[in-house]
Amino acid sequence: MSTRRRFLQIAGGAAILAGGGPARLLAADAPFGADVELQLTARPGEAGLLPGTPTRIWRYDGEVLRGDPRTLSFLDGSGHIPLLRLMRGQRVRIHFHNRLPEPTIVHWHGLHMPQPMDGHPMYAIEEGETFTYEFEVDTRAGTYWFHPHPHQRTAYQVLQGLTGLLVVHDDEEQSLGLPAGDLDIPLVIQDRRFDGDNQLVHLGRRRMDWMMGYAGDHVLVNGDVDYQRQVPRTSCRLRLFNGSNASTCQLRLSGGRPMTVIGSDGGLLEFPEQRQQVTLAPAERIEVLVDLSRLQAGDELALLAETWSPRLQRLTDRQVTGELRDGGRVIARLIAGDEQRPSPPLPDRLSVYPTAPSLEQAVTRRVTLSMMRGNLTLNGRVFGGMRDVADEERVALDRPVIWEFANDARMGMGRGGGRGMGMGMRMLHPMHVHNVQFRVIGRQMAEEPDSVLESLGRGSIDNGLKDVVLVRPGERVRVLMQFADHTGLYLYHCHILEHEDLGMMRNFLIESA
Ligand code: C2O
Ligand code: CU
Ligand code: CU
């Protein structure tokens, strides 16, 4: 333990020293009083992603300065992906240092934040600078994450390795006796491409490639192309997170075993759901329970992924990692260990949702996702100035609103009717809204979906609270939400990171009513 950390633990809140680092930290506590304090750094590094030469990456690194040292750890696998574990209600201070050769800023995806803490690109800091975050964890227990959000460089930086997981616990969740500790297993799924020397390959400059989105031929789980982990023979809680830039996965278990879905983006579902298959679009999270209690020691339970590009090309056949099984690639294997533990019964009811915003009082606004003059737009607009907001992008605090995301695939067509950028493209767009968890209240397809679209839709978990929703071509999805506590400028965008960077992102402004 560093001297400084020991000092902080011993001294508690009392600033007894004059001058020097620790005293300054303590003095700064007067207005905020952090329960947990960390430093987090974005810096170049290396990771063993493939056998042989290490891959040069960018990564988050950090250290707990105050509070429970288990607040920050790194996932198994390659070891470069941080996991931040926080308790609801905790007051957190994070000193974020940029040691990258370009500007960056951290966004806490899915959390409820005052505007200056949300990581809007207007707050990006230069190399060598520090941004200090102070916030109270004001979100339901669940699986969230953090990532860079600088102007037009998000796709690049995330691909370079900047991704962190953020798990929030609360009393409601902890009273359920869900599998915890070594039975609580986060799995971060990301596809990547490498050159012959194991180095990451990014997209070039062609606009068309950015429209299509990045597609990797290697699927990594926790930074490992051949992820496996030995687990006791009992029920395990998997936190599945699609951290890919653009690819959507359909996940199944080997042997057709069912999974019990217990949570989605915004935490626990009210009631568990049995599924054969789940869909995870970029940035979506799902928590499932899997049961290994009937396996023999040494047996394996494999997680299979079938992967789709935004243009609905099946990527599975082009992938070079993972055995092909039942139409999917094996991306992770849980190996049943010698130890057997009883599987505690799953409570019928997992959680109580906060009161839903009133449907009757909600005003509806349509957000049309379309291709216009070679741009991916939201109601015909791309991201403009840092503070640019249209009239229809103003929302009132504490008023229920419905946003209808309309992926009218044919919009923007008609100019020549040929192939290419002038015409509408059938594309998946996972839409994300900052600072809120919404409810999916309706999906409507313009025409009978083909079998791929049908099965992608069937695997979506719409019952929970969500911050990302997959909108299929020809589909309109209505989400109901209500903004609380914070006013200011936030973002909504497509979470295909190449689309976001191309400008398929807009500000919205929360104003006090
Ligand atoms: Cu994870 Cu603005 O997004
Ligand atoms: Cu976000
Ligand atoms: Cu998109």
Q: How many angstroms does the Cα of residue 390 sit away from the middle of ligand 3?
A: 20
Q: Over pLDDT 70: what percentage of the chain?
A: 91
Ligand 2 ion: Cβ-proximal residues, 5 Å cutoff: 109, 434
Tell me the C-alpha to C-alpha distance, in Å, between residue 379 and each of 350, 351, 408. 38, 36, 11
Ligand 1 atom closest to 149 (CA): 2
Q: Which ligand has its closest atom nearest to the C-alpha of 467? A: 2
Q: What residue owns the CA closest to ligand 1's atom 3?
A: 109
pLDDT at 372: 86
Q: Is the pLDDT of residue 417 over 80?
A: no
The dihedral built from the CA positions of residue 312, 314, 319 and 325, taken in this order, carries a sign that is positive
Q: pLDDT value at position 20?
A: 35
Asked if residue 49 lies in contact with residue 100, where contact means CB atoms within 8 angstroms, the answer is: no
For residue 32, the model assigns a pLDDT of: 84
pLDDT attached to residue 3: 35
Ligand (nearest to CA of 491): 1
The CB of 491 under 6 Å from ligand 1? The reply is yes
* pLDDT given at position 486: 97
What's the pLDDT tens digit per position in 342-363? 998 999 999 999 999 999 999 9
Q: How many CA atoms lie within 13 A of 323 on its CB side?
A: 8
Q: What is the pLDDT of residue 373?
A: 85
Which 3-state string (H, E, C) describes 13-55? CCCCCCCHHHHHHHHCHHHHCCCEEEEEEEEEEEECCCCCCCE
Atom of ligand 1 nearest to the CA of 492: 2
Ligand index nearest the alpha carbon of residue 163: 1
Q: In ligand 1, which atom is closest to the CA atom of 468?
A: 1
What pLDDT shows up at residue 140? 97
Nearest ligand 1 atom, CA 110: 1
Q: Rounded CA gap, 346 and 268, in Å?
A: 13
State the closest ligand 1 atom to the C-alpha of 493, by its place in the atom list counted from 1.
Answer: 2
pLDDT (0 to 100) of residue 374: 85
The CA 110 to ligand 2 mean position distance, Å, reads 5
Cβ of 506 less than 6 Å from ligand 1: no
**What per-residue confidence (pLDDT) applies to 409?**
65
Contact 333, 228 (CB under 8 A): yes
Residue 425 has a pLDDT of: 81
- Ligand 1 within 6 A of CB of 285: no
How far does the centroid of ligand 3 lie from the alpha carbon of residue 64, in Å? 36
**Cβ density class 200-215: b for 16+ within 10 Å, e for less:** beebeeeeeebbbbbb
Confidence band of 314 (pLDDT split at 50, 70, 90) = very high
CA of 432 to the centre of ligand 2 (A): 7
Average pLDDT of the segment spanning 66-72: 97
Q: Is 147 in the pocket of ligand 1 (CB under 6 A)?
A: yes
From CA 458, how far away is CA 456, in angstroms rounded? 6
What does the pLDDT read at residue 513? 82
CB 242 within 8 A of CB 248: yes
pLDDT at 344: 87
What's the 384 CA to ligand 2 centre distance in angstroms? Answer: 18
Q: Is the pLDDT of residue 118 over 80?
A: yes
From ligand 1's centre to the CA of 468, what distance in Å?
A: 9
Question: What pLDDT is stored for residue 408 in this prediction?
Answer: 87
Task: Give residue 27's pLDDT band: very low, low, confident or very high (50, 70, 90).
Answer: very low
Residue 410 confidence class, pLDDT cut points 50, 70, 90: low
Amino acid (1-letter code) at residue 513: A
CA–centroid distance, 430 to ligand 2, in Å, is: 12
Is residue 102 over pLDDT 60?
Answer: yes
Joined tokens for residue 298: 């040494």
Taking the C-alpha atoms of residue 332 and residue 335, their distance in angstroms, rounded to an integer, is 10
Give, in degrees to the nearest 5, the angle at Cα 114 between 112 and 118: 75
What pLDDT band is residue 10 in, cutting at 50, 70 and 90?
Answer: very low
Kindly give the distance from the C-alpha atom of residue 367 to the centroid of ligand 3, in angstroms, as a whole number. Answer: 13
Over residues 265-273, mean pLDDT = 98
Nearest CA to ligand 1 atom 1: 109
| Ligand 1 atom with minimal separation from the 119 CA | 2
What are the residues whose beta carbon lies below 5 Å from ligand 3 (ion)? 429, 494, 496, 499
Residue 373 burial (C-beta neighbours within 10 Å; 0-12, 13-18, 19+):
exposed
Q: Is 434 in the pocket of ligand 1 (CB under 6 A)?
A: yes
Q: Mean pLDDT throughout 292-311?
A: 97
How much distance in Å is there from the Cα of 393 to the middle of ligand 3?
A: 19
